[in-house]
Amino acid sequence: MNASDESLMSSSDAAQRERGTDGARSFEGRLLERMLTRLGSPEVEFTLWTGERVALAGVEPVCRVRVSSRATLLSILANPAVRFPDAYCDGRIEIEGDLVRLLERVYLADERAPVPSALARLLGRLRRPHGNSLAGSRANIHHHYDIGNAFYELWLGQTMAYTCAYYPTAETALDQAQIAKMDHVCRKMRLRSGEHVVEAGCGWGTLALHMARHYGVKVRAFNISKEQVAYARERAEREGLAGQVEYIRDDYRNISGRYDAFVSVGMLEHVGVDNYEGLGAVVARSLGDNGRGLIHSIGRNYPAPMQPWIEKRIFPGACPPSLAQMSRIFEPHNLSILDVENLRLHYAQTLRHWLELFELAGDRVQHMFDAKFVRMWRMYLAGSLAAFTTGTLQLFQVVFATGHNNEVPRTRAHLYVP
């Protein structure tokens, strides 16, 4: 189909709409229209395997989707939130245009969609995501984090920090923003030389090394990802910090000992809301009477399950909490919330940077894995970016202290002294 066909088709569509009929629309096309309406009318145009084009009246498409077969369309109609990205990954649909913009429209449209039926809500509640028992967490974390450090090195930047960065200015580069994030976290906790810090969920060990090197603290850092812990230990040895930083391959639930500060950056998403009170008990027993800490996590404005495709394919067991849900960590243990900062737009910028590096490394990723893997990770990174730009996801940094701790900073000005 060439450009003139396209414009012809569009005017004919417009004419049909003016007539208020759907004339030559196929049965599948009508089902697709119904789905688009139910999804809140995202600005997308579909081209079916027959060449038929389907878009809602009055909608200006930002993206075009080509569907290869009736079976693919029917599968998407049955469960668009999961089967649409699956079909993209398998190459059964092609997407032309700006994937991030399309997904932004879908997220925004989703909020305008009619309230789900009672049956849909019930099914949603019954759908149990992957559990976070000790063994469940090991499996869930292995699924995402143990697929090869070399892959993550391609697009996370020098720091290998796989969490929201902090951009003091719009021009800050990724690596500098990751370092700024670590300093922001350390300053929020007012780390002092000689103190003992426990870290729950330490990724490739970057923050622990940063705290040890620049703030003179001793760190015990917990993580259940085999590959990450091996990588972190090797880094600590290589950088001469193995005496200050101990990486422990174990679950946060098994943290023992007493510390001055508790820090967790990007683990809470994997904990599961049902385990928050237990996590709070770990925090409280780690800190004793006079400690403080910081938890950094993806969150939401209100409770809602993880996007189901992300939960199924990318982050089994993951759930970003609302701030009220996060409070279940603190309230039962008289932990006092001192400071909450929402870094949502910083995560959007971080994802923009990751996605750029990922696309640059596309051929190498395809060589390491396959084309499907590239599409799956593109969908995940683009969808996450869209979720942060639209406000579907938030990023909360929560600073807290034990309830009677009066040794807390008077103001936050010290965070912003150059």
Binding positions for its own copies, rule: CB under 8 A? 108, 111, 166-170, 301-303, 322-324, 327-328, 330-332, 334-342, 344-346, 389-391, 394, 396, 403-406, 408, 410-413, 415-417
Q: Which is nearer to its own copies, 108 or 230 (by Cβ)? A: 108
Which residues in 3-115 belong to E strands, given as ranges?
Answer: 44-47, 53-54, 63-67, 93-97
Q: How far is the CB of 402 from its own copies (least distance, A)?
A: 9
Q: Which is nearer to its own copies, 308 or 332 (by Cβ)? A: 332
Q: Which is nearer to its own copies, 122 or 340 (by Cβ)? A: 340
Q: How far is the CB of 107 from its own copies (least distance, A)?
A: 10
Q: How far is the CB of 76 from its own copies (least distance, A)?
A: 27
Q: Please state, in angstroms and as integers, the Cα–Cα distance from residue 146 to each residue in 223, 286, 354, following that order.
A: 12, 28, 19
Q: How far is the CB of 383 from its own copies (least distance, A)?
A: 17
Q: How far is the CB of 324 from its own copies (least distance, A)?
A: 4
Q: How far is residue 219's CA from residue 208's CA, in Å, rounded to a whole number?
A: 6
Length in residues, the chain:
418
Q: Which is nearer to its own copies, 2 or 411 (by Cβ)? A: 411
Q: Which is nearer to its own copies, 2 or 169 (by Cβ)? A: 169
**Whether the Cβ atoms of residue 47 and residue 64 lie closer than 8 Å to each other:** yes
Q: How far is the CB of 391 from its own copies (least distance, A)?
A: 5
Q: How far is the CB of 274 from its own copies (least distance, A)?
A: 16
Q: How far is the CB of 173 from its own copies (least distance, A)?
A: 15
- What b/e sequence results for 98-124 when a residue is b if at least 16 CB atoms lie within 10 Å of its CB, and e otherwise? ebbbbbbbbbbbeeeeeeeeeeeeeee
Helix (H) or strand (E) holding 394: strand 394-402
Q: How far is the CB of 273 from its own copies (least distance, A)?
A: 12
**Whether the Cβ atoms of residue 110 and residue 39 lie closer than 8 Å to each other:** yes
DSSP per position, 188-206: HTT--TT-EEEEES-TTSH
Q: How far is residue 321's CA from residue 379's CA, in Å, rounded to a whole number?
A: 22
Q: Which is nearer to its own copies, 101 or 144 (by Cβ)? A: 101
Q: Which is nearer to its own copies, 4 or 406 (by Cβ)? A: 406
Q: How far is the CB of 3 from its own copies (least distance, A)?
A: 33
In SS3 terms, 208-273 reads as: HHHHHHHHCCEEEEEECCHHHHHHHHHHHHHCCCCCCEEEEECCHHHCCCCCCEEEEECCHHHCCH
Q: Which is nearer to its own copies, 40 or 391 (by Cβ)? A: 391
Q: How far is residue 95's CA from residue 207's CA, in Å, rounded to a whole number?
A: 38
Q: Which is nearer to its own copies, 68 or 325 (by Cβ)? A: 325
Q: How far is residue 382's CA from residue 390's CA, in Å, rounded to a whole number?
A: 12
Q: Please state, in angstroms and as integers, the Cα–Cα distance from residue 93 to each residue in 48, 102, 343, following that order.
A: 10, 14, 34
* Rg (the chain; Cα; Å): 24
Q: Which is nearer to its own copies, 140 or 394 (by Cβ)? A: 394
